[in-house]
Structure 1
Amino acid sequence: MNITVVTVASSAFIFSISSFFLNTYLLLSVFWMKTVQRKPGMALIYFRFAVDSAYGFITAINLLYLLIQIFYPDMTVKNLSFFLAWPVFNIGTVRGYLVFFITLDRVLAACSPVFYFKHRVKLSNLIVLPITVSYNIFEYFILLDICEFVVDLPLNCMFLGCSVGQCYSSYWLKFEQVGYLLIGSLSLVLCSRLFIWNNVSKSTKNKEISRVATYFWAMITPNFQATRFALLDASIIFIFDVIPAVLMSKIPMMNFQSVGPFSAMCKHLGFLIEAFIIYKVLLSEKPVMAVSVKSMNTG
């Protein structure tokens, strides 16, 4: 028995199940206990709470089965690894798309606030559902048709890559890399936009430019919390997803046999930290009077 693998797997289980409970509590705080004010501009963020909750739960089940395989090999059920691993990939896809849409939404709000607030209400947040579901169906085509995967796993199959085969694992790695690149690029655009307007509003002596900058902040302030959470998510992805993935690709000794589910441990530690930060922010916030955009227009 590899103590490192057991330690990493146990830590990953604790982080994932804790993420499940904390994200579930956030949802209950908004929709049931009403201890957190519900905001229309946060709808996609609330959806992400639900996705992260499901992600943590299904990952925890997967890791629990991994620990059972390690401690009680005779209890291994043939092909069960696939049926536990496949939902992890599905939910991972949903989360990837959701984070991309949230970041894109915030970029559009920051870069073109007038157009955004005039037309965004015409587009339902529910459009995310058919897009992600359609892509999940397409992933079945990739797995079964393109990769020609057959559900016939060896009994010693313990990690996600083994559960879905090398072909699909390679596709999934590319999918994540493209997602990270898009989310990272959009986050840089968003940061640059906010930085520029923040400095303009504070340093300019031109009354007209100052007026425009103030108008910009008045437009985005009502949903600024969603913008901050989008940037937080991008930071968490970079620190707890991208960096561990780079380390594992560059250091041959960091493989599943030697360090266990290291990527899953880092990923769900990031989810847990992010959920905790959001929990502290949401439960400590006080109602703030938004600046009237109409008055800015007519003043």
Structure 2
Amino acid sequence: MFILVNTVALLAITFSVTNVFLNFYLTTAIFCKKRVHKKSDFSLIYGKIVVDMFCSADTSTYLGYFIIRIVDSTIVIKNLSFFIAWPNFNLGTMRCWIVFFIALDRVLATCIPISYHNHRSKIPMLAISLFIFGYAIFEYYILFVLCGYVLDVPLDCTIFRCAVGTCYHDYWKWYQQVMYSSIGTLSVILFFRLFIWNSCSKTTNNNKTISRATRISLIDSFIIFAFDFFPVFLTAQWPQINTNTVGPFGSLCKSLGFVIESSIICHFLLGNKKVAPTSLSRTSPMIM
């Protein structure tokens, strides 16, 4: 069991560090080296890349501390688990909202392209960004006021759950379920519109080329289902699969999903210098 826990932890930290470098490479290519022509229609995707980089960096720190605790349980810093875990929850909240808005944007651009083209500019990116940051700050109120959290992490705590308390962790599970269900619903609508609707349509002049942003949105949804939701489902069905028995299995799956997603985004943004294709709609999307 000791070997299995260490193997899972080492694989998880390897994937997590790899994703940090991939997203750092993407960030510098976009904002510093100008290898990617920045477009306003990719603003949310750029933001997700930055959030993913910091999220993976925090996960790497947690996994490093986890491995150290396995090797020598006497090496412990009081309350350090909270200061590692809390940013991960906060960044995870922001990431869920970003993916949700990307999926919503794609659905609107694909299903009602004319109305989208006429009204999308009325909702500035600043408003969306302020909402996401505002909700992340609101979680401080949930943790410290509604849940009455007191910073006193047990010395034997090595997982995120005990670092933030049962109350907040229960809220976080509820929040994830709501957000994943919403993102999944939007993705089903998008998939239906792109593939089923167009395949059954008798109109011959449909543009069947899918924009890069739409592809990224569908990939985000698949990664969330396969590497976030499904592992949680497994651990819920088989409680014996936990950190004590198999190591940080959830972090391993999530980090692997991040690496796959970042590699695909690298290919979309850096691997193809041709002009980006338009979406399936006749009107080019304004934001995605």
Specify if TM > 0.5: yes
Deviation at 1:289, TM superposition (A): 7.5
- Structure 1 residues 45-92: Cα deviation after superposition (integer angstroms, max 9, x where no partner): 111100101111111111111112222333211111111110000000
8 Å Cα contact 1:110-1:190 kept in structure 2: yes
Deviation at 1:263, TM superposition (A): 0.6
2:233 — aligned with what? 246
8 Å Cα contact 2:212-2:277 kept in structure 1: no
Deviation at 1:31, TM superposition (A): 2.0
- Counterpart among 264, 268, 281 of residue 281 in structure 1: 268
Change (3 A) 1:64 1:194: same
CA RMSD after TM alignment: 2.1
Deviation at 1:122, TM superposition (A): 2.5
* Off by >6 Å, runs of 4+ in structure 1: none
8 Å Cα contact 2:86-2:164 kept in structure 1: yes
8 Å Cα contact 2:99-2:217 kept in structure 1: yes
Task: Report 1:185-264 matches (<5 A).
Answer: 185-199=185-199, 204=202, 209-210=203-204, 213-214=206-207, 224-264=211-251
Q: Which amino acid aligns with 2:234?
A: L
- Structure 1 residues 189-245: Cα deviation after superposition (integer angstroms, max 9, x where no partner): 0011112453256xx2xxxx445x45xx6xxx6x81111100001001111011111
Q: Does 31-40 or 276-285 show the bigger shift?
A: 31-40
Question: C-alpha distance in 1, partners of 2:273/2:242?
Answer: 46
Is there any run of 5+ residues in structure 2 with no aligned partner, and where? 284-288
Q: Does 88-97 or 34-43 show the bigger shift?
A: 34-43
Question: C-alpha distance in 2, partners of 1:138/1:110?
Answer: 32
Is there any run of 5+ residues in structure 1 with no aligned partner, and where? 295-299
Q: Which amino acid aligns with 2:27?
A: L
Matched, 1:97 2:97: yes
8 Å Cα contact 2:212-2:268 kept in structure 1: no
1:63 — aligned with what? 63
Percent identical among aligned pairs is 45
8 Å Cα contact 1:99-1:183 kept in structure 2: yes
Question: C-alpha distance in 2, partners of 1:278/1:290?
Answer: 15
- Structure 1 residues 13-67: Cα deviation after superposition (integer angstroms, max 9, x where no partner): 1111111110111121122222233332111111110010111111111111111
2:145 — aligned with what? 145
Task: Report 1:1-299 matches (<5 A).
Answer: 2-199=2-199, 204=202, 209-210=203-204, 213-214=206-207, 224-288=211-275
Question: C-alpha distance in 2, partners of 1:28/1:198?
Answer: 38
8 Å Cα contact 1:18-1:272 kept in structure 2: yes
Question: C-alpha distance in 1, partners of 2:41/2:24?
Answer: 20
Q: Tell me the TM-score normalised to structure 2 length.
A: 0.91
Question: Match of 1:75, SS?
Answer: coil
Q: Which amino acid aligns with 1:224?
A: S
Q: Tell me the TM-score normalised to structure 1 length.
A: 0.88
8 Å Cα contact 1:200-1:210 kept in structure 2: no
Alignment coverage as a number of residue pairs? 281
Higher helix share: 1
> Which structure has the bigger radius of gyration?
1
Q: Which amino acid aligns with 1:9?
A: A
Question: Match of 1:154, SS?
Answer: coil
